[in-house]
Amino acid sequence: MKENRERSNHTTTAAVYGLGFIGAAVYYISTAATFWIGVLGFLKAVVWPVFVVYGVLDYLGM
């Protein structure tokens, strides 16, 4: 029973990350002025959780 619960949580996390990745990629690429800025936007979309965690920790003063 515990294994099913853990697998479900991992699936949910992957789905949230996947949707966030697609949204961030669309945002960054659509606002890019040049091809290389679009490439940089794609790379930012891959690591978007880092920006979120950093912003939250900065806000909390940690």
What's the pLDDT at 31?
94
Percent of all residues in the chain with a pLDDT value above 90, rounded to a whole number? 37
Q: Cα–Cα distance between 11 and 4 in angstroms, integer?
A: 11
- Which is more confidently placed, 56 or 16? 56
Reduced to 3 DSSP states, what percent helix, strand and coil does the chain have, rounded to the nearest 5?
85, 0, 15
Mean pLDDT of 34-58: 90
State phi, psi for 27 to the nearest 5 degrees. -65, -55
- Which is more confidently placed, 3 or 56? 56
What's the pLDDT at 6?
56
Question: CA nearest 24: which of 40, 8, 41, 6?
Answer: 41
Query: Taking the CB of residue 51, how many other CB atoms lie within 10 A of it?
Result: 11
Local confidence band at 26 (pLDDT 50, 70, 90 cut-offs):
very high
